Amino acid sequence: MTARESTIEQLEIAAAAALDKGANDLVALDVSGPLPFVDIFLIATGRSERNVVAVAGEIEDKLIEAGHKTLRREGRSEGRWILLDFGDLVVHVFHEEERLYYSLERLWKDCPVVPIAVAAAAQAE
């Protein structure tokens, strides 16, 4: 895995924020091999459009509080697939239907999965 430690720290902040707002099925992929300008994709699922927007908003708020700048934000008005670009970390928050349809995990299946400590701890509880 070649993702930087600073990106993994961002990932943990984003994952904790997503879980706090009820996101599920979190998956992090190390895409630094095929994409030299991004280290990690975090993929999360919301239960409804409203939940997708809330999850993305919480992730963005927590990363901004931690000193990370949002470079780009897409899809917030529809609430079906929101992309948050923080440079080394790109977050995809999907509605369940869009996640199944676009299947980013399948598209990036050759990329290693990055363990998410906060998600593992939440599953253990």
Q: pLDDT-derived band of residue 7, with 50, 70 and 90 as boundaries?
A: very high
Q: What pLDDT is recorded for position 122?
A: 66
Encoded tokens for 113: 């999965």
Query: Do the Cβ atoms of 96 and 45 come closer than 8 Å?
Result: yes
Residues 44-90: pLDDT tens digits?
A: 999 999 999 999 999 999 999 999 999 999 998 888 999 999 999 99
| Amino acid in the structure at residue 31 | V
Query: In the prediction, which pLDDT does 55 show?
Result: 98
Q: How far lies 88's CA from each of 28, 68, 80, 101, in Å? A: 13, 10, 23, 25
What strands, in cross-sheet order, belong to the sheet with 81-85?
A: 24-30, 40-46, 89-95, 81-85, 72-74
Nearest C-alpha neighbor of 68 from the set 2, 3, 6, 4: 6
Global pTM reads 0.92
pLDDT in tens, 95-107: 999 999 999 999 9
